[in-house]
Amino acid sequence: MNLTQTAVDTWLDTFQTLDWHSLKAEVRIYPSAIFLKDFKQTDIHYGAQNVYAALDGAYTGELSIAQLQSIGVQSVLIGHSERRQVFAENNEMITQKVKACAEQALPFILCCGESTETRASSAHIAFVLRQLTEHLSQLSAAQLQLLVVAYEPIWAIGTGSSADISQITEMHMAIRNHLVHLFGEAGQLVPILYGGSVNAENAAEIFSCPDVDGALVGGAALNPHTFHQLWQALHS
C-alpha cells in the first residue's frame, strides 16, 4: 500500500526508460489495485496483490478473477504473509483462492513462509511443506504451469535482514523436493522465488543459491533503478 497516483505516474515513466529486454528474465509488477489499469497500455506483466475465491456476489471490497481479467491482469499473489498476518487469511481461504485461480486458468504466485517462533522451534521446514501440501492439494500436474512459489520468511520481511545463504538454500531445496514428491518431474519446472529484504547488496548472493529462480521484491521495488539492479543481479 505505497505510492499515490502522481508517484505511480513517475514510477512508470522511469521504469519504461530502463532496458528490461536485453536479458532473459520475466519481470512482473504487482501494484495497488487502484493503479492496475495504469499498466494496461504497457508491455509490462502486471498482476494483482490479492483476489477473492468467489466468482461474484455480495463481497464488498473484494475483487473477483473475472473483474481482474477484464482489465488485463495477468496473474495474482495468493497468501502473502501480510494477508495471512494482518488480515487473518487462514489456510482454507488461501487454498480456495488457489483452486479458483486454477479453475479459471489465472496464473498465480503462492507465498509461503514461517514466523520467528516456528523457526526457533526448528519446525520451519515441516511448517512450510504443510502449507504447500494443503494449498496445492487440488492442483493437477497439468495446472503447474500457472504456479510460481515464493518463499518469504516472515521474520525477514521488511526488517532489512534477509535469511542467510544456508537458510535460503535449505528451504528452497526442501520446497523443490516437495514439489517433485507431489507432482513428479513436473515439480522441477515450478519457479521458486525468495522474498524477504532482498536489496541491491545481497541480491547476487541470494540468486546464486540452488533453486532460487528469482525474487519477490517489496520495498526495494519502489525505486525503479534499484529494482533494475536486482533484475540485473539475477544474471550476474
Q: Counting Cβ atoms within 10 Å, is residue 185 exposed (0-12), middle (13-18) or buried (19+)?
A: exposed
Return the domain boundaries, the chain. 5-233
Profile the chain (236 residues) by mean pLDDT over runs of 10 residues. 97 96 91 96 95 97 97 97 94 97 97 92 96 95 96 79 87 98 96 92 93 94 95 85
- pTM of the shown model: 0.95
Q: What is the model's pLDDT at position 158?
A: 66
The three-state (H, E, C) secondary structure of the chain, written as one string: CCCCHHHHHHHHHHHCCCCCCCCCCCCEECCCHHHHHHHCCCCCEEEECCCCCCCCCCCCCCCCHHHHHHCCCCEEEECCHHHHHCCCCCHHHHHHHHHHHHHCCCCEEEEECCCHHHHHCCCHHHHHHHHHHHHCCCCCHHHHHHEEEEECCHHHCCCCCCCCHHHHHHHHHHHHHHHHHHHHHHHHHCCEEECCCCCCCCHHHHHCCCCCCEECCCHHHHCHHHHHHHHHHCCC
Q: What is the model's pLDDT at position 236?
A: 66
| Residue 235 falls in the annotated catalytic set | no
Query: Which set of grid coordinates corresponds to residue 160?
Result: 532489512
CATH 3.20.20.70 for domain 5-233, yes or no, is yes
| Residue 82 falls in the annotated catalytic set | no
Q: What is the model's pLDDT at position 161?
A: 63
- Out of 89, 114, 152, 228, the active site residue is 152
- Out of 80, 135, 178, 228, the active site residue is 80
